[in-house]
Each structure stands twice: as C-alpha cells, then as structure tokens.
C-alpha cells in the first residue's frame, strides 16, 4: 500500500498550512493566545474560534458542498487534523453535531430536517449532544430502556441517559429510545431529535476527576417530542444509531491521532527542559528508549488512520481497523501521559497557589487524570479486544 500523498493532497496540505500560519497566533494558553481563567470568557473565546473555522470553511470539511462543506475526502480530512495537531487550539463544542448528528441527518433525515438542522450545526449556533448510553446500557447499547410512547401527534419519552457529553451546553440531542420491547432487542427502537429546552428534560452535570463537568446525567419525564423529529422511520433506531457510531469511529480516529501527536511532541520538549543528576532527561538512555517506542507507536496510528481512510475513499468497509486504532491509541496515550507525570515527579501534584507550582505541571496532571476515561469512552478496551480477537485474529466468540 502506498501511504504517500498525491499531488492534489499535497496542494491541499499547503492550503491548510497557509491558513494556519495566517490565523493561529500561537498555542492556545501561550502568551500569544492567552487562555482566559474566567469560564465565561473561555466560552466566548471557544465560540469565537468555532466561528472563525466556520467562516473560513474549515468546519465539517467532509460534508458535501451543498450542505456547506468542502466535499473533502477522508484522506484530506485526516491531513487537516494532522496539520492542526501541531497547534493547541480551543476544543470546539460542536464535535458531536458536526461529526455525528449532521452526517446521520444527511443519511436518514427528511429534506425538512436537513434544511432545519444542518446549517446551524455547521455554524456552531446550535450545539448537539448524544443520548445513547444509560446506567444499564453502555457497551450493550441495545439494552437501553428509555421509552418512547405514541402520544398522537407526538412521542412521549421517559427514562435516563448518562455520560452525555456537553448536554449542559446543548440545544439538541440525538436520542435512542425503545418504542417496542416485544421483538428482538435490536428491533423496536426510535431515533429522535430532541430539543433540550422541552419541558421534562433535566440535565445534571457530573464533575469528573479533573474537576471539569464534561458530561451529564439527563432525565426525561413525560417529554413530548413532535413526530416530525423521528429520524429514519419507526422502529429503525438501531440502524440509524449504527450510522452515527460509524461516523464517530472515523472522526474520532483523526482527532485522537492529532492529540497524541501533539502530546508526544510536548513530552519530548519536557525532557529537554528537566534535568536529573546534571543532565537533561532527553539524554538519558532509558527515557530515549521510551520516547523512541512511543514515536514508533504514534506512527502506526497515523498509518492505521490512512489505511482506514483508504478503504473508506475506495468505498469499501474499513472493518475493524478503527477498533484496532482506538485500542493502540488508548494504551499509548495513557502511558505517555503517565510518563509526563513521572518526569515531573512531585511537581505534578502541586495545586495552583502552592510554592513551586507551575501551570505546565497543572496541565499535565489534568491531561493525565482525563486520560483515565480513554479506556471507556468511544468503546471500552475490553470490547475492542473482543472485536480484534474475533474479527482480526479469527478467535472463537
């Protein structure tokens, strides 16, 4: 397989680099682009960044041109993420809308749904969340119990979702519900678009180990959802949900690769700044060995991304490559961040305001704590190992 970029792809990369050089003043959080402490100001900066990307047509570049995208190929989408990864930028809040809800609406929505929702997803004016997981339905999503009863012109939804990222900011939710429990567990589901401002929707933020309330519990009590908000037809919720998850896997792979590429770069820089026994850590053979291992590992993640995207561009199913990618990414991301915290030693534990506290160490600690979620989010490590065992290695179920 040839992993080099075509002339057109190299031209595309130049266009991306040119835009980045003109529009990114420096890393977000550096003196050139300070990160506001005040949460309200932080939101403003993030929304401002989302607007800038949108106005320059760098949001949803894989969306068809008719819906405001660039009709970029999966490889171009990857190139964009790879180039952006060289810079720290605010994390947009509309990742679920652009990467999952939008493509699902394009695949299964009516013309009216496309016209209503797609433009504001792309512009970031409306934020979306994903209401799939429940307290007793995560890996086994089809076990979900949130009910959807026919109420005439509308559905009545009752139940609870959990781990719902950005629900506290979202105007809309893609919600998978159970309309009929008499058949097989994959049948009888309805996939709904729910306005989060509807009476009966209650969002309760959950504060994580990092101190950030990134995700939420969402409760639905007799929530009336207009029938025109059904996506993909009665009882077809499972099929529609699979579309969402396929887009999640593809988009997440580019995003995660971008992040680990940057993390590796930053850990290398850290080893150039910290001395032990009179020499910089980057000169220590044990540290060098570890860094070389991670560099090779990150490169396999780049190649797995390209492999998956080559299949998608050629119209063939990438199969389990995305699962293998996530499995390798998760382990190396968690280990790499642990290495950074080890390097910092006791400094990593100093809280803001204490003697010797350094904001750099603070950030590393936050990233390391956040990485605990890596083996759970977007498919747990055990489930991915099962998929790899069965579908790649041909082991029995």
Footprint of ligand FAD on this chain (CB under 6 A)?
129-130, 132-133, 138-139, 163-165, 215, 373, 376-377, 380, 382-383, 386
CB of 370 to ligand FAD, least distance (A): 8
248 is catalytic: yes
- Shortest Å, Cβ 82 to ligand FAD: 23
| Least spacing, CB of residue 279 vs ligand FAD, in Å | 38
Task: Considering the candidates 14, 248, 283, 349, report the single residue annotated as catalytic.
Answer: 248
Nearer to ligand FAD, 217 or 377 (CB): 377
Q: Which residue is nearest to ligand FAD (CB)?
A: 138
Q: Which of 71, 69, 59 is nearest to 95 (CA)?
A: 59
What's the min distance (Å) between Cβ of 153 and ligand FAD?
A: 28
Q: How many residues does the chain have?
A: 397
* C-beta atoms surrounding 41 within 10 Å: 12
Write the burial class of residue 6 (CB in 10 Å: 0-12 exposed, 13-18 middle, 19+ buried): exposed
User: What gap in Å lies between CA 204 and CA 43, rounded to an integer?
Assistant: 19
Shortest distance, position 121 Cβ to ligand FAD, whole Å: 15
Give DSSP secondary structure letters for 56-84: TT-SSTTS-GGGTS----HHHHHHHHHHH
Instruction: Give the position of tokens 């350094």.
Output: 358
Query: Within a 13 Å sphere around the CA of 238, how many CA atoms are in the beta-carbon half?
Result: 16
Nearest approach, Cβ of residue 133 and ligand FAD (Å): 3
Would you say 259 or 265 has its CB closer to ligand FAD? 259
Measured CA to CA, the distance from residue 386 to residue 388 in angstroms comes to 5
| Least Cβ distance, residue 377 to ligand FAD (angstroms) | 4
- Nearest CA to 129 out of 190, 65, 193 is that of 193
* Nearest to ligand FAD of 288, 385 (CB atom): 385
DSSP state of 90: P
User: Minimum distance from CB of 135 to ligand FAD (Å)?
Assistant: 7
Residue located via tokens 């590393």: 364
- Dist. CA 183–CA 286, nearest whole Å: 58
Which residues, 6+ apart, have CB-to-CB distance to 94 below 8 Å? 50, 59, 121, 124, 127, 128
| 51 phi and psi angles, rounded to 5 deg | -65, -40
Q: Given the complex with ligand FAD, which of 269 and 382 has the nearer CB atom?
A: 382
Our CA dihedral for 54, 246, 130, 251, rounded to 10 degrees, sits at -30
Measured from the CB atom, the residue of 256 and 291 that comes closer to ligand FAD is 256
By the 8 A CB rule, do 61 and 77 touch?
yes
The upper half-sphere exposure of residue 211, i.e. CA atoms within 13 Å in the direction of its Cβ, equals 7
**Closer Cβ to ligand FAD, 281 or 378, answer by number:** 378
Q: Cα–Cα distance between 212 and 206 in angstroms, integer? A: 8
Give 136 or 359: the residue with its C-beta nearer to ligand FAD. 136
Q: Name the residue among 70, 41, 44 with its Cα closest to residue 58.
A: 70
Q: For ligand FAD, which is the closer residue by CB, 77 or 244? A: 244
Known catalytic residues are 248
């Amino acid at each position: 397989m040839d992993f080099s970029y075509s002339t057109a792809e190299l031209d595309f990369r130049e266009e991306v680099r040119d835009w980045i050089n003109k529009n990114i003043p420096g890393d977000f959080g550096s003196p050139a682009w300070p990160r506001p402490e005040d949460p309200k100001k932080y939101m403003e900066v993030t929304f401002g960044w989302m607007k800038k990307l949108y106005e320059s047509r760098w949001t949803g570049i894989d969306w068809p041109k008719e819906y405001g995208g660039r009709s970029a190929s999966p490889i171009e989408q990857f190139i964009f993420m790879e180039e952006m990864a060289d810079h720290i930028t605010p994390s947009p809040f509309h990742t679920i809308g652009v990467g999952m809800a939008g493509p699902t609406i394009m695949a299964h929505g009516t013309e009216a749904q496309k016209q209503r929702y797609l433009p504001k997803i792309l512009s970031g004016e409306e934020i979306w969340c994903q209401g799939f997981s429940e307290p007793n339905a995560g890996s086994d999503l089809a076990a979900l119990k949130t009910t959807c009863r026919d109420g005439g012109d509308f559905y009545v939804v009752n139940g609870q979702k959990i781990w719902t990222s950005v629900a506290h900011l979202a105007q809309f939710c893609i919600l998978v519900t159970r309309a009929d429990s008499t058949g097989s567990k994959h049948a009888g589901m309805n996939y709904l678009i729910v306005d989060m401002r509807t009476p009966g929707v209650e969002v309760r933020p959950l504060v994580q180990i990092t101190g950030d309330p990134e995700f939420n519990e969402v409760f639905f009590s007799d929530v009336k959802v207009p029938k025109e908000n059904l996506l993909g037809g009665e009882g077809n919720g499972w099929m529609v949900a699979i579309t969402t998850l396929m887009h999640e896997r593809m988009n997440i792979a580019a995003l995660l690769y971008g992040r680990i590429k940057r993390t590796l770069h930053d850990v290398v820089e850290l080893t150039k700044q910290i001395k032990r026994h009179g020499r910089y850590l980057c000169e220590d053979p044990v540290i060098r060995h570890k860094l070389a291992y991670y560099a090779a590992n990150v490169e396999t993640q780049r190649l797995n991304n390209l492999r998956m995207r080559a299949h998608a561009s050629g119209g063939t199913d990438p199969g389990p490559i995305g699962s293998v990618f996530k499995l390798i990414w998760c382990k190396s991301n968690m280990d790499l961040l642990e290495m950074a915290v080890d390097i910092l030693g006791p400094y990593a534990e100093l809280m803001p305001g204490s003697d010797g506290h350094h904001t750099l160490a603070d950030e590393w600690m936050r990233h390391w704590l956040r990485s605990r979620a890596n083996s759970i989010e977007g498919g747990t490590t055990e489930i991915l190992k099962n998929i790899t065992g069965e579908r790649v290695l041909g082991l029995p179920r």
